[in-house]
Amino acid sequence: MRHLSPNEQRNCWLLAGVLLLLAAITALHYLTSVHLVPYHVVYRSLYFLPIAMAAVLWGVRGGLITALLVTALHLPYMLFISHETSDSLLDNILELILFYGVALLAGILSARQQQQRREALRMRTYIDGILASLPIGVATIEPTGKIALQNPAAVHLIGKEVHDFPYPIQQGYSECQWQGRALGIHRSTLSSALGDVITIEDLSEQRRLAEKIRQAERQASLGRLAGGLAHEIRNPLGILRATAQLLATRLQNIPEVTRYTQVVTTESDRIDRLISEILSYAHPRSLSLEAVAPGPFLEQLLQDCQPYAEQHSILLEIERRDNLPIISADTELLRQALLNLLLNAIQASSPGQTVTLSAQQADTALCFAICDRGPGISDTIKGRIFDPFFTTRDEGTGMGLAVVARIVSDHQGSIELEERPEGGTRARLCLPLQKEQP
């Protein structure tokens, strides 16, 4: 036997109540003397109650069925008393017509109310869906101070209910730091009857993006300036180098001249390498993309750097992972970027320490990581570490990490340097994965 749902059980009880009320009113009619006309007029009016109830509960159809049932119950009595008392047949017929009118009116009003209720519920669901999808927090406060509504983003951003937020939320706009986030909070009054609305926005990502834009603009300006200067310097530098070589050839019998011209040639070569780095930063070549398997790529990179690492007494290790996805990248440029990061890690390490290379998938990107146990990066230089010509080493040119950042940007990837909890620095270079062909 099927169990009735709570709604079906409720309808059964209501139906039983309506039928019981009809039976009680009809019993009063038939058990009361036909000569007590005023009583019967009152009893007949009581039929409006179950008819209205049925119309409200089950609509026009329920009201009309109940009115028909009342007609069937009351008609024999009505025909009988019309011959025995002063209660006229016309009055009874008019009241029967009113039964159907009440059934229609109450049913229509009930249907309209239910339609409005469904529309209000649909609109509430629609509004709740919109509020739930918003990235900003929204909360409304009644004039009494009670929270009337708050969306999930509001709870997520502050980690608790709005009324438990420890910072006072004043009228207008304000900003505060909360749980590592920069929050922008705006409070405005809708009306004295409706109360206030509060919006909460996480400004951290906006500030990071703004800083990236400022950094990109600064790097682009420096790159254009450096590119122009590099072209102007390279021509006289070539003349200077050629002159030094000519002097070394013609005056090779004079040791001091040979030594001095060698210094000029060596430093000219160093300046020329710097100019090449500047030009590659200011005018990067177009990418030549090809499929790159991360595992073999890192193995080859380690082999290339092994002699340099051994020269500095540094141990290189690879954290090998299986089933790494293929990426699309310019092999030479990617090698240049990772090689630069790896050489920096070796130079920052002390003899006997270990530098670790690894690669792993992170959502829709493949991330290469190079970890060392050097002195780390102070907060004062983090914001400038990728700027052209910024260096912390006396012999550095300041272009290495700037070129790395440009290569990563051209690949639509990301690069970040962060301190490790156990000490040292982790360079994390992420490139997007290849999109699957439909």
Question: Where residue 148 falls among pLDDT bands split at 50, 70, 90?
Answer: confident
DSSP state of 86: S
Model confidence pLDDT, tens digit, residues 32-59: 766 676 777 777 778 888 888 888 888 8
CB 411 within 8 A of CB 431: yes
Both tokens assigned to 321: 């992972």
Structure tokens at 438: 């439909």
Burial category of 424 from C-beta neighbours within 10 Å (exposed 0-12, middle 13-18, buried 19 and up) = buried
For position 134, what pLDDT does the model report?
82
- Over the stretch 131-144, which tens digit does the pLDDT of each residue have? 888 888 888 877 77
- Please, are residues 425 and 345 in contact by the beta-carbon 8 Å criterion? yes
Q: What is the pLDDT of residue 67?
A: 84
The token duo for 370 is 């190079």
Query: Residue 150: how many CB atoms within 10 A of its CB?
Result: 20
Give the pLDDT of residue 170.
72
Share of the chain above pLDDT 90, in %: 5
pLDDT digits (tens, 9 = 90+) for 232-267: 777 787 788 888 888 878 877 777 877 888 888 888
Average pLDDT over residues 91-115: 82
Query: DSSP code of 433?
Result: B
pLDDT above 70 covers a percentage of the chain that reads 85
Mean pLDDT calculated for residue range 67-83:
74
Q: What is the DSSP letter of 209?
A: H
What angle is formed at CA 384 by the lines to CA 383 and CA 387, rounded to 5 degrees?
A: 135
Give the Cα-Cα-Cα angle 141, 147, 148 (nearest 5 degrees). 80
Q: Is the pLDDT assigned to residue 80 strictly greater than 70?
A: no
**DSSP code of 202?**
E
Q: What is the pLDDT of residue 160?
A: 63
Q: Quick one: pLDDT band at residue 223, thresholds 50, 70, 90?
A: low
Could you say which DSSP state residue 164 is in? G
Could you tell me which residue, 313 or 382, shows the higher pLDDT? 313
- DSSP designation for 419: E
pLDDT, position 204: 78
Residue pair 425/377 in contact (Cβ under 8 Å)? The answer is yes
Mean per-residue pLDDT over the chain, rounded: 80
- Three-state DSSP at 285 gives coil
Pick the more confident residue, 216 or 352: 352
At 318-356, the pLDDT tens digits run 888 878 888 889 988 999 899 989 998 998 888 999 999
Six token digits for residue 10: 């409720």
Residue 161 pLDDT class (50, 70, 90 cuts): low
Average pLDDT over residues 69-78: 78
Give the pLDDT score at 438: 41
Q: Is the pLDDT of residue 14 over 70?
A: yes
pLDDT at 371 over 80: yes
Burial class from Cβ neighbours inside 10 Å (0-12, 13-18, 19+) for residue 407 reads buried
266 secondary structure, DSSP code: H
* Least confident range of 22-26, 28-32, 183-187: 28-32
